[in-house]
Chain A
Amino acid sequence: MDLIRKIELEQMRLDVPKFKAGDTVKVFLRILEGEKERIQVFQGAVLRLRKGGANSTFTVRKVSDGVGVERIFPIHSPFIERVEVVSEGKVRRSRLYYLRKLKGKASRIKIKNQWDN
């Protein structure tokens, strides 16, 4: 198993910031259009982090024009230019699937204050 772990370590990126479910993040995505490359930003709340070495993923949810949009990103994918943590959220669970049923004011996540720790 060690050799597989070694291969996975090579695949992992070390520049990914730490974030948790409930945090609001900006994901800067590399988009290839023909020859050109541009950056697209996807901003939303992290619903879940799926841990698994190089195979780790995270789900980001945002509401765009009243329609909920969720995207799952591999954390170590080369398509991600960088991830920026906008704010840390104060939540009590690690899987925020309940947000899918909430709308408007109810779907807000409390922001974690610096002095809460």
Chain B
Amino acid sequence: MARTMGILGRKLGMTRIFGDDGAIVPVTVIQAGPCPVIAVRKTDTDGYEALQLGFDEIPERKLNKPSKGHQSKAGRGCYRVLREIRLDAPSELAPGQDVTVDIFAVGDQVKVTGTSIGKGFQGVMKRWNFSGLNKTHGAEKVHRSGGSIGHNTEPGKVMKNKKMAGHMGARRVTVINLDIVDVRPEDNLILVRGQIPGAANSVVMIRKQK
């Protein structure tokens, strides 16, 4: 897959707007950037091409000495979130320069990566869409169970990757092929059609599809 330019942003929430033809379009509003380039990774020195972007500015006292030293090289203040955007070709951007929402245009397709909302420990019905067992016909205490998890003496074990109850959500999720409905550089906003992972105010990474 092509490694493409991207930006970091904050998911503000969802609303809906009227499209050009008057139809209602559900959109997610993302406040993205401007993200300064903190460091540049090069094939010669690091073995790969990438830009390290900073997002969410914080006062200097909130950082420890090693990160302060690292971030001061770009000379653009201190940032809470640092993420690398992998690239195919070397970028012409140098540390200290900004990446803004201008890299996107209306009609572009993007992929958005974020951390999904944590659901805690969940049973198989919610986590894996199992049907559960009978509500009646003598079923007792097992209405939301998954049923049998294996076979008999042969193979005598539970197969690996068996879908069971456990922790759900709060993991890295990428949604691809999202359309950009609007770009507003004055407020650093991107309006993306449809849903993106994560709760409101969570940090997301938006990358071009191609």
Q: Which of A6, A7, A54 has the most CB of B within 10 A?
A: A7
Residue total for B at the interface (Cβ-Cβ under 8 A): 13
Q: Judging by beta carbons under 8 Å apart, are A4 and B22 in contact?
A: no
Decide yes or no whether B80 CB sits under 8 A from chain A. Answer: no
Q: A9: shortest Cβ distance to chain B, in Å?
A: 11
Decide yes or no whether A94 CB sits under 8 A from chain B. Answer: no
Q: Which of A60-68, A72-80, A100-108 contacts B (4 or more CB under 8 A)?
A: A72-80
Q: Judging by beta carbons under 8 Å apart, are B189 and A54 in contact?
A: no
Q: B44: shortest Cβ distance to chain A, in Å?
A: 42
In Å, the complex CA distance between A113 and B187 comes to: 49
Q: Judging by beta carbons under 8 Å apart, are A77 and B29 in contact?
A: no
Q: Identify which of B13, B17, B24, B189 contacts A1 (C-beta below 8 A).
A: B13
Decide yes or no whether B167 CB sits under 8 A from chain A. Answer: no
Q: Identify which of B12, B13, B16, B187 contacts A54 (C-beta below 8 A).
A: B16
> Knowing that A7-B191, A54-B15 are A-B contacts, what are 18 other residue pairs whose CB atoms are under 8 Å apart, sorted by A's residue number?
A1-B12, A1-B13, A3-B12, A3-B29, A3-B31, A3-B187, A3-B189, A4-B12, A7-B17, A8-B15, A11-B18, A30-B22, A54-B17, A74-B24, A76-B18, A77-B22, A78-B22, A79-B22
Q: Which residues of A contact B (CB under 8 A)?
A: 1, 3-4, 6-8, 11, 30, 54-55, 74, 76-79
